[in-house]
Structure 1
């Protein structure tokens, strides 16, 4: 699905927006079309209604902003060893096999179903994240024959140049709410 398609935008929007659009389409069809064909035209609202249901389910399952902030604050207070263990537990709970590696550019090697991902997480508390660590991660992905690279950011900002480089080379920036949700999910899985 394209990032800025109508369905993608509706999936990221509050669930009720899709339902309002569906109701508006049905109302417009019933008002503007002849009585014998308007129900068939109104079926065009079904995909938007389904997207609304999907968005509602995702938003229902998503952690609250208070929980996300609490886990981010907790992670910010962790030592590198504790943070690495939390990441390892999070990926292990998703069925990944996790290995610590001693490479300058990557810290963890994930493998699942033959797909290898390298994770660079050591700069997770840096104030700014530039393009250099991403270049090193990309080189490690090529050198170690991995399919993917993940760069973990808990604090600080990622420069626009670094974001562009990551997008161009297929590197994932794991940051913000996505990182917090992953850590929260693994933490609740342990409890």
Structure 2
């Protein structure tokens, strides 16, 4: 059984927040408990603050793996000058390095088909410059994937995504490649599963 943290739990929220929040809370608990107990229960004080310090360390590690805001803005500016085909090729290059095979998708709704064994991903970057993304292009992508029995989808966008589109993407195994993910794919540091 895999352990899954509830989205609204304190530790899940701290993992999504800046690392220094968790470290600050851990240090606050440590200092206050040491002061209140005159350091008689130092082990208990350290034990109480340890979960927050560990969460802070994990969040720090994850945040160091992410591109900086400057890098993200640079990639967005570069991407706006590129065609959808070039964007697809740059993203596909990361998957090809991991053993995927890339081929042009013959049909509407996607640009490339990425294959690794029985896993098939469809990549769509046709509307990546659109200011807003609704549910319709995602439905078109999923419909295209049903014809080839795709197991996952990648949809590239630099604009705003509606809540309905986010929910649809989550329900249908669509990875929304937004600006920060695009930056990691451009610099080749993206984790591919």
Same fold (TM over 0.5): yes
Correspondence for 2:181: 178
Could you say if the C-alpha distance between residues 127 and 34 of structure 1 is closer, same or farther in structure 2, counting changes exceeding 3 Å?
closer
Could you say if the C-alpha distance between residues 6 and 143 of structure 1 is closer, same or farther in structure 2, counting changes exceeding 3 Å?
farther
Which runs of 5 or more structure 1 residues have no equivalent in the other structure? none
Could you say if the C-alpha distance between residues 44 and 186 of structure 1 is closer, same or farther in structure 2, counting changes exceeding 3 Å?
closer
Structure 1 residue 113, shift from structure 2 partner:
5.4
1:159 aligns with 2:157: no
Alpha-carbon RMSD: 2.5
Instruction: Select between 174-183 and 38-47 the one with higher mean Cα deviation.
Output: 38-47
Correspondence for 2:30: 26
Could you say if the C-alpha distance between residues 43 and 34 of structure 1 is closer, same or farther in structure 2, counting changes exceeding 3 Å?
same
Matches of 1:181 and 1:174 in 2, distance apart? 10
Which runs of 5 or more structure 2 residues have no equivalent in the other structure? none
User: Secondary structure of the residue that 1:105 maps to in structure 2?
Assistant: coil
Instruction: Select between 88-97 and 125-134 the one with higher mean Cα deviation.
Output: 88-97
TM-score by length of 1: 0.82
The 5 A counterparts of 1:132-171 are 132-154=136-158, 156-171=159-174
TM-score by length of 2: 0.81
Could you say if the C-alpha distance between residues 33 and 69 of structure 1 is closer, same or farther in structure 2, counting changes exceeding 3 Å?
same
Correspondence for 2:61: 57
Correspondence for 1:15: 19
